[in-house]
Amino acid sequence: METLDSTTLQRISAIVASHGAKPGPLLLVLHDVQNALGYIPPPAIPHIASALNLTRAEVHGVVSFYHHFRSEPPGRHSVRICRAESCQAMNGEVLAAHARQRLGVDFHHTTPDGQFTLESVYCLGNCACSPAVMIDDELHGRVTPERLDALLAERSGQ
C-alpha cells in the first residue's frame, strides 16, 4: 500500500487549507492536488476527506467518476484522443482503436514502460481538422493511424 511522505502530506494540507473557507471546495482541491503531484494518490483520499469533513467514499466517488482525475502517476507523455462527434465522424473510432492497440493500454492507463498515458477527451476544439490528438500540450489535426505512429515514435526516443 502506498503511503504519503511528510513533504507530500504537507503539500496536500496546504492545498486543502487554501480552499478550506470556500463552499464546496472538493473539486478545487482535487484539481490542485493533481496539478501539484501529477495524480491523486489513493492514500491522500482519507486526508482530504477528513480535512473537508467528507467521507472517504464521497472523495473517492468524485475521483473515480471524473476521467480527468488520475489515481496513478501519469506517463512521461500524455496522449489525448478526441472522442467528440466531429472526430468520431472522421474515423476517430478507428484512430482510438489503433492507439489502444499500438500502446497496449486502454484509455486512462499508462504503458508498462511509463512512457505514455492514453486519455480520451471530449473536444479539443479542433473540429475543422478532425480527428484531433493532443500529445503533451501539442495539438495535431487530421491524424491518421500512421501519423499517430510517427508522432509517438518521435517521443519514444526523448
Rounded mean pLDDT for each run of 10 residues along the chain, 158 residues in total: 88 94 93 96 96 96 92 95 96 97 96 96 95 97 98 87
Q: How far apart are CA 129 and CA 122, in angstroms?
A: 15
pLDDT of residue 37: 96
| Grid-cell match 467528507, residue found | 54
What is the structure's pLDDT at 21?
A: 80
Q: Are strands 116-121 and 77-82 parallel, antiparallel or unpaired?
A: parallel
Residue with cell 487554501: 18
Distance (Å, whole) CA 35 – CA 129: 29
- The number of angstroms, rounded, from the C-alpha of 132 to the middle of its chain's C-alpha atoms is 17
- Position 158 scores a pLDDT of 56
Give the predicted TM-score (pTM) of the model.
0.81
**What are the cell numbers at 83?**
472522442
DSSP state of 90: T
Q: Would you state the pLDDT for residue 68?
A: 86
φ, ψ dihedrals at 116, nearest 5°: -130, 140
